[in-house]
Amino acid sequence: MEKKFMDSEKVEYGFGQHLILDGYGCNREKLMDLDFIYNFLSEYPSQINMTKIMPPYVFKYYAPVPEDWGISGFVIIAESHISIHTFPEKLYMSVDIFSCKPFDVDKAIEDISRLFEVQKSEIRLLDRGHEFPRSIRAVERFIRTERNQLAV
């Protein structure tokens, strides 16, 4: 698979990456398998070097419109979270991975696409918290310099 996204470089500012993957034509059996979804959320954080800090929370949802039922779940990781929502009758799922720690986005896309047998996908990658100070010392130097210039 061709690399579409590059790992984020270490920067002084910016909170992190948020991968949004919408998958179409997925394997229906996997989308409706509570244990499969649970295991994905439980095991996947370590595969992208993240730290799971609680067991996944996964539940089946029965919608007022019968074909909209599905499974939703999330796992909190030290770096933020991973969530999934499935719609087995529509062969659709959405996965979000939000992390303050850089991760291999291309690997995540490839892994999820393979695991759920995604036929077509929409992918978005957001850089969140552009002004989030990664290094308090760097921000402190910046503020002192700015204040000194204003005092002159």
Torsional class of 127: left (φ above 0), alpha (ψ -120 to 50), beta (otherwise): beta
Active site residue 8: no
Catalytic pick from 42, 83, 100, 121?
Answer: 100
57-61 and 16-24 strand pairing: unpaired
149: CB partners within 8 A, 6+ apart: none
Place of tokens 């030290």: 78
Annotated catalytic residue 80: yes
Our answer to whether residue 85 is catalytic in this structure is yes
- Token look-up 């979804």 returns 37
Q: Which residue of the set 26, 85, 99, 113 is catalytic?
A: 85
Helix (H) or strand (E) segment spanning residue 95: strand 92-99
Closest CA to 16 of 60, 68, 58, 79: 79
Of the residues 26, 80, 99, 113, only one is catalytic, namely 80
The DSSP call for residue 144 is H
Return the active site residues.
Answer: 80, 85, 100
